[in-house]
Amino acid sequence: MANTFEMPEFSNLQVSVEDSIATVRLNRPEKRNAIDAETVEQLIRLFNGLPRSGIRAVVLCAAGAHFSAGLDLVEHHRQDRSAADFMFICMRWHEAFNKMEYGGIPVIAALKGAVVGGGLELASSAHIRVSDATTYFALPEGQRGLFTGGGATIRVADLVGKARMIDMMLTGRIYKGREAVDIGLCQYLVEDSEAKAMELARIAAKNPPLSNFAICSAIAHMQNMSAFDASYAEAVVAGIVNTQPASRTLLQAFANKTGAKVKPA
């Protein structure tokens, strides 16, 4: 599909598109990319429009030295929100992050510096996380007298397990480097996270969009189902994806011995 999506102008995000890959850059470096209410609204608008836009992968990255310092604590403090106000704010975060995780387009997060609190909630909504030597992960909610509200209880617990997440929240424990990879906070540790994320995005963007749609939405949905229902849903999705014209072409190439083999380099 051709690029049909008119990219809106955003104040807190810088979006550019090249070769059907969108680079979405958090753009409040002077505030360490703290996530205010406006940033969430802009993420919703963006990820609402991306599916079926012709965009085949997204690199989610950040301006400045830090990916994101999480919830905009100053805005939260100044607005003196009621419980109902903040519940609504959290529901907007969920709207944005669910659109990312379930939208069917691969989102690769290029991480650096602080990936903390709500910043980790945002990063964990991506499909692949790439770190560099400066990247560190934390959930300082306990120390701030807060609780996660942007999906960490679901996504971070899913990545690292509930015991590690509780430790991070109770004690402010910080993970970085190889240890962060080993416990599942990120999948790659490289010198240049943005370059690696773009490399991965380019690889993923070559897959037929319907395959990527299933990979980047069906797996997350199936995790929410009973094993019995997930196996049914998997069969239905595979019925559609594995008989698509694009897969016939790729299988024909393999049958003709022109398709790539699966072998380590």
Closer by beta carbon to ligand 1HE, 103 or else 113: 113
Count the Cβ atoms, other than its own, within 10 Å of residue 161: 13
Residue nearest to ligand 1HE (CB): 117
If DSSP codes are grouped into helix, strand and coil, which group holds residue 227? Answer: helix
- Selecting among 18, 41, 121, 191, the annotated active-site residue is 121
The answer to whether the Cα torsion of 204, 213, 129, 89 is positive or negative is positive
Least Å distance between CB 125 and ligand 1HE? 12
DSSP state at residue 71: B
Closer by beta carbon to ligand 1HE, 105 or else 185: 185
Least Å distance between CB 105 and ligand 1HE? 23
- Selecting among 30, 141, 179, 194, the annotated active-site residue is 141
Closer by beta carbon to ligand 1HE, 56 or else 76: 76
- 141 catalytic residue (yes or no): yes
Closer by beta carbon to ligand 1HE, 28 or else 56: 28
Least Å distance between CB 96 and ligand 1HE? 11
Kindly state the tokens that stand for 163.
């015991």
- 41 catalytic residue (yes or no): no
Least Å distance between CB 73 and ligand 1HE? 4
Give one word for 130, left, alpha or beta, with left for phi > 0 and alpha for psi -120 to 50: beta
Q: In what order do the strands lie in the sheet with 21-26?
A: 13-18, 21-26, 57-62, 107-110, 128-131, 188-189
3-state helix, strand, coil in the chain (%, to 5): 50, 15, 35
Helix (H) or strand (E) holding 240: helix 227-241
Closer by beta carbon to ligand 1HE, 78 or else 206: 78
Kindly state the tokens that stand for 196.
């690696």
Q: Which residues of the shown chain bind ligand 1HE in the complex (CB under 6 A)?
A: 31-32, 34, 66, 69-74, 90, 93, 114, 116-118, 140-141, 144, 146, 148-150
Closest to 119 in 3D by CA, of 143, 136, 132: 136
Least Å distance between CB 192 and ligand 1HE? 20
DSSP state at residue 8: P
Name the residues annotated as catalytic: 121, 141
